[in-house]
Amino acid sequence: MAHKISDSCVNCGSCVSDCPSEAISEKDGKQWIDPDKCVDCGACVSTCPTEAIAAG
């Protein structure tokens, strides 16, 4: 199941460059993970400074 980004996201963009499947992009003022592209690797989780990303 794809990871999800919560409302704790501060839109810093740290996760974008660590996503190997390019599943993360900005949407409505915060980052968003496209569930069709997410490969559930978890690389974005350790990068997030606000711990806003978790397994869906």
CATH number of the domain where residue 41 is located: 3.30.70.20
- DSSP-assigned letters across all residues of 10-45: ----HHHHH-TT--EEEETTEEEE-TTT-----HHH
Number of domains in the chain: 1
Provide the residue-wise pLDDT of the chain in tens; the chain has 56 residues. Answer: 789 999 999 999 999 999 999 999 999 888 999 999 999 999 999 999 999 999 98
pLDDT for position 29: 85
pLDDT for position 41: 94
Structural domain containing residue 34: 3-55
Q: Report yes or no on whether pTM surpasses 0.95.
A: no
pLDDT for position 46: 92
> Residue 17 — φ and ψ, nearest 5°?
-75, -20
